Amino acid sequence: MRIMITTIFDYPHTGGLSTHVATLKAGLEELGHEVDVVSFSDLPKAKRDLARAPSFLINKISQGKGILVGHRIRQQLLKDLIQQKAREKVYDIINAQDVYASLASFPCKLPVVSTVHGYLSFEAVSRGAVKTGSKEAKAMQDLEKEVYQKTRRPITVDQRIKDYIRDLAGVEGERIYNFINVDQFEPQVEKREELRAQYGFNKDDVLLFIPRRMTRKNGVIFPAKALKLIHEKYPNTRLVYAGSGEEEQNIRQITKESGLEDHVHMLGNIPHDIMKDYYAMSNMTLIPSIHSEGVEEATSISALEGMGAGVPVIASAVGGLKEIIIPEKSGLLVEEQSPEAIRDAVYKIIENPELGEKMAQHAREMIEENYSHHAAAKKFADIYQDALENY
């Protein structure tokens, strides 16, 4: 098959959606399919600037309205680009990765399946872009409903999103959990000391890796709050953040007040080939997600990468994280928004290294069996084929 993957967002960029697309593309190509990604990044700079400016300016006047206008402009520009690409090359199917990309793809007259990574309206409210109960929030939810009813097949990355689509639009989606490139993220514990020396860490440091965008729903401030508690017993503990976002300043303030800013490392957005080194050199991966305005973590790609890399994972007991982590078998689940719970989980793994090793080993086995890009690509290809046969 010739497959076009579409998104109104940048590609590649740092974040779960971009990682999902890159990993799916690799898996489909290994199966012999031809895959092209058409994204906002493919537009000329002048057109990208045209889409960004109104969103910023209008939002200053009316919160939320600028987001709608900016996304509609992106949709129109992407629609034109999709049709151009379809004239240049014959495609069999389109897999849209967001609501507006779906709307941009429908006019192309190819069968469209839509992958649903989250909740458009709720997430806009959660990050403060749209007000709760506003007409803008309702407009976004109406667009979600339209897409889920119009697309050939909605594909969701966890059970809760599948339930959401059914309740909102009366449509039964297909659930395919998030997945990782198991060939890229694999255990490298034997390289830990070598990598630490390379990146400037001591072999005796306890490194807690937090590979998360610094947004409120990711709960990234709570490891910072837990660090002072952890230091009461293990003062060689360090936090390593990979990601950027609005919570970065809060994290810096918290660790400055506790006098531990020298034990917190902000890497910003780093490439995936470097991310795997940080998983390997870390003692644990933390996924401290929280409930935020109706939004919960899906089957976190960061959690899956940590599990695939053979590192014990500590995650909040919310959303899809509860679907992928079996407590004390493939990782530890802790109460959300609790620095004390994070501290206790970190202590448990430090003081029971055999438990950490067993959890990491079992987690890797789970990844290979259930969350590999090989298995996921086959499931997606089957859905594409079914959509084609019934088009």
CATH number, domain containing residue 310:
3.40.50.2000
Q: Is residue 11 a part of any domain in this protein?
A: yes
269 and 161 both lie in a single domain: no
Cα 127 to the center of its chain, rounded Å: 15
Whether 55 and 70 have beta carbons less than 8 Å apart is answered as yes
Whether 23 and 182 have beta carbons less than 8 Å apart is answered as no
170 and 250 both lie in a single domain: no
Residue 54 CB contacts under 8 Å (≥ 6 apart), including other chains: 66, 69, 70, 73
CB atoms within 10 A of CB 255: 22
Whether 367 and 182 have beta carbons less than 8 Å apart is answered as yes
Q: Is residue 166 a part of any domain in this protein?
A: yes
Q: Is residue 107 a part of any domain in this protein?
A: yes
What letter represents residue 343's amino acid?
Answer: R
Q: Which two tokens stand for residue 335?
A: 């109460």
105 and 221 both lie in a single domain: no
Return the beta strands (E) in the chain as ranges. 2-7, 34-39, 93-96, 112-116, 153-156, 174-175, 206-210, 237-241, 264-266, 284-287, 313-316, 332-334
| Residue 23, CA distances (Å) to 15, 183, 228 in order | 12, 11, 37
160 and 294 both lie in a single domain: no
165 and 253 both lie in a single domain: no
Q: Is residue 184 a part of any domain in this protein?
A: no
87 and 19 both lie in a single domain: yes
Whether 115 and 18 have beta carbons less than 8 Å apart is answered as no
| Residue at token pair 């206790």 | 344
23 and 148 both lie in a single domain: yes
Q: Is residue 37 a part of any domain in this protein?
A: yes
145 and 195 both lie in a single domain: no
115 and 13 both lie in a single domain: yes
Angle at CA of residue 177, ends 173 and 181, nearest 5°: 140
Whether 337 and 219 have beta carbons less than 8 Å apart is answered as yes
Query: If we measure between CA atoms, which residue out of 318, 316, 310 comes closest to residue 366?
Result: 310
Query: If we measure between CA atoms, which residue out of 10, 63, 216 comes closest to residue 127?
Result: 216
Distance of alpha carbon 357 from alpha carbon 369, whole angstroms: 19
User: What do you get for the CA distance between the two ends of the chain, in Å?
Assistant: 15
pLDDT at 189: 85
The total number of structural domains that make up the chain:
2
166 and 270 both lie in a single domain: no
**Residue 3: what are its φ and ψ, rounded to 5°?**
-120, 135
pLDDT at 297: 73
Distance of alpha carbon 87 from alpha carbon 360, whole angstroms: 48
Q: Is residue 348 a part of any domain in this protein?
A: yes
Distance of alpha carbon 312 from alpha carbon 346, whole angstroms: 10
Cis peptide before 12 (omega within 30 of 0): yes
Per-position DSSP letters for 295-353, written without gaps between them: B---S-HHHHHHHHTT--EEEES-TTHHHH--BTTTBEEE-TT-HHHHHHHHHHHHH-H
337: containing domain: 189-370
Whether 306 and 339 have beta carbons less than 8 Å apart is answered as no
244 and 306 both lie in a single domain: yes
> Is the backbone of residue 319 left (phi > 0), alpha (psi -120 to 50) or beta?
left
Write the burial class of residue 270 (CB in 10 Å: 0-12 exposed, 13-18 middle, 19+ buried): middle
pLDDT at 318: 92
168 and 267 both lie in a single domain: no
Per-residue pLDDT tens, the chain, 391 aa: give them. 999 999 999 998 767 889 899 999 999 999 999 999 999 999 999 889 887 876 666 766 666 787 888 899 999 999 999 999 999 999 999 999 999 999 999 999 899 999 999 999 888 887 777 888 899 899 999 999 999 999 999 999 988 899 999 999 999 999 999 999 998 888 988 999 999 999 999 999 999 999 998 988 899 999 999 999 999 999 999 999 999 999 999 999 999 999 999 999 999 988 888 999 999 999 999 999 998 766 677 678 999 999 999 999 999 999 889 989 999 999 999 999 999 999 999 999 999 999 999 999 999 999 999 899 999 999 999 999 999 998 8
pLDDT at 49: 87
225-240 burial: b if 16+ Cβ within 10 Å, else e: bbbbbbbeeeeebbbb
359-377 burial: b if 16+ Cβ within 10 Å, else e: bbebbbebbeeebbbebbb
